[in-house]
A and B are shown apart, each in its own frame.
Chain A
Amino acid sequence: MPNDVTHSQAGTTLEKADVTKSVTPGGRTEAAAAAVRIDDVAVRFRSKKRDVTALTDVSLDIASGEFVAIVGPSGCGKSTLLKLVAGLLGPSAGEVRLGDERVSGPRHDIGYVFQRAALLEWRSALRNILLQAEIRKLPAAESRARAGELIRMTGLEGFEEALPHELSGGMQQRVALCRALLHRPPVLLMDEPFGALDALTREQMNVELRRIWQETGTTVILVTHSISEAVYLADRVVVMSARPGTVSEIIDAGLPAERGYSETMARPEFGTATTRIRELLGAASAAD
């Protein structure tokens, strides 16, 4: 199709422009500016019956293009932390900065993926992905090209016209991921995105996510329950303690950038990191 050429060209120009904006050409290790800065943040939920302190004294700097995973016991405020970064929730104390702006309301320069895919049941996979473009009023042809690119990247070809209920859980999550990446957000927030998937699909999604992250250069914050998922995917793993949630340790396993799945699992650094995290989480739940 002659149209394809113009579409992909348009897509490429857009990508180049965005990449130079969010990532220094040398790669993320060198990136100077923090993409996300969480500064001494606390969150308290007040209700008639009781007050819950979800987070206290949380500080965390995330470099542009970095992949950070967050693990911690249930209810320690991981989702709350992501919502703070997205501006869906305001902190009771402290501040959150995204790029060089203070977060003070829903941010539009992020992508968000939830545990449940949260797809519109009446829209096909493609039209679910394009919702992002429709609401943002992005140019239609360019958005379609970008959606096609993401569909190829996530292996969804052939399922563009399928409705969500016709897709497996893994494929629904891919659609949600494509939707979150459509507008090339500098920051991608993922809240237990693979929690509902079976172990095999999950591994596959981990490998794909890592590859997609390398291709797009997005800053990623991933909340997960799986320690191995966290260590495999992330540059740094933030371990949180039980309520009130705070950062108990940040672990950099020191794994190489190129990570084959089983080779990485077999590495001694991988074992050391997972064991350390398990200890920390064990201590947290023992103190609970």
Chain B
Amino acid sequence: MSQSAVSTAPVKPAGVAERARPSLRRRTVEAAEKSWRPVALLLACFVAWWVISAAELVESYLVPSPGATLDVLLDKPDYLWQHSWVTTYETLLGFVIAVVVGVVAAVVMVYSSTVEKTLYPILLFAQVVPKIAIAPLFVVWLGFGITPKILIAVLIAFFPIVISMVTGLKAVDPEMLQLSATMGASPWQTFLKIRFPASLPHLFSGLKVAVTLAVTGAVVGEFVGANEGLGYVILQANGNLDTPMLFAGLLVMSLIGVILFVIVEIAEQLLLPWHASRRDGSVTTSY
């Protein structure tokens, strides 16, 4: 075209958000502001526990004092560490297997409605069967080793992963798919560049549920038949009426769950910074 376009030079519009990363100090302050309430609540519970046991409102063999529990943690660190490691190992292995199998199953289900129709009822059945009820069967089949524990962790963590991944893969903007069709994208390109990344926020919300469930799965497996792991520790302590050890075991178990959850959340923020910042901006209010 030969027309001149002098009169219509582009003007940079105002009102565009500055691309700012909050400083480390500000982020720390923000994290502190966000977390002081739960921390205060935890402290209050701890104080209540301490008061109840100190005032001997409940027999000490029923509820041990915080001091007694702490003593166990300090006296037998090797014992607890060894068994915690077993439980953590089973949990992580179960979780990782559940992620791999769950993601693959979700992808196959989304791309083939025949597979989806076939698998879905089985999945649902596997989900509604109480894991604690089939755990003994696994022990009978697979023995006292860590295999049945891992299997139960997989079974229990698998469902939220599949469901969230299927939701994520299906939630992709249909216009985005039409656009990729006009670009001549192959199914593989569409999956790799559009569908898979778009599904990750959904997947991560499933992973956070799954990782805490995996801990439960491993411990359930240990309850049914084991000679190591935190489930075994708790069962032993229960048999000996050793409530301080029982409480210590519970404490460590919860700690493992919390730490794994936080690790998944950190991984989410590192891998999906675009999602984290958008979510923060749309959900939190400033007062």
- A: residues with CB less than 8 A from B are 27, 83, 86, 88, 106-108, 110-112, 114, 116, 118, 120-122, 131-132, 134-136, 152-155, 157-159, 161-163, 165-168, 170-171, 201, 204, 207-208, 210-211, 214-215, 217, 257-258, 260
Contacts and interface: CB of A to CB of B under 8 A. Distances in A.
A108 B189 CA distance: 15
B113 interface: no
Given A106-B181, A114-B179, 8 more contacts: A108-B183, A120-B194, A131-B193, A162-B16, A165-B278, A166-B17, A210-B8, A217-B1
A207 B8 contact: yes
A162 B179 CA distance: 21
A88 B181 contact: yes
Contacts of A122: 197, 272, 274-275
Nearest to B272: A122
B175 A211 contact: no
B182 interface: yes
B13 interface: yes
A165 to B, nearest CB: 5
B1 A120 contact: no
Contacts of A215: 1, 5
B182 A258 contact: no
A7 B173 CA distance: 34
Most buried by A among B15, B182, B274, B278: B182
A157 B3 CA distance: 24
A165 B2 CA distance: 37
Interface residues of B, number: 36
B205 interface: no
A82 B34 CA distance: 49
B17 to A, nearest CB: 5
A141 B278 CA distance: 31
A211 B11 CA distance: 13
A140 to B, nearest CB: 15
B19 A211 contact: no
B77 interface: no
Contact of B182 (A106, A162, A171, A208): A106
B198 interface: yes
Interface in B231-287: 272, 274-275, 277-278, 281
Contacts of B11: 155, 204
Contact of A260 (B7, B17, B197, B275): B7
A107 B5 CA distance: 31
A132 B5 contact: no
B62 interface: no
Contact of A167 (B16, B181, B274, B275): B16
Interface in B1-37: 1-3, 5, 7-8, 10-13, 15-17, 19
Most buried by B among A120, A168, A204: A120
Given A27-B1, A118-B176, A122-B275, A134 B193 contact: yes
Nearest to A216: B1
B184 interface: yes
B175 A116 contact: yes
B185 interface: yes
A163 B16 contact: no
A159 B16 contact: yes
A8 to B, nearest CB: 18
A2 B185 CA distance: 34
Contact of A120 (B185, B197, B272, B281): B197
Nearest to A191: B175
Given A168-B13, A214-B1, A118 B183 contact: no
A199 to B, nearest CB: 13
Nearest to A260: B7
Nearest to B182: A112
B15 A112 contact: no
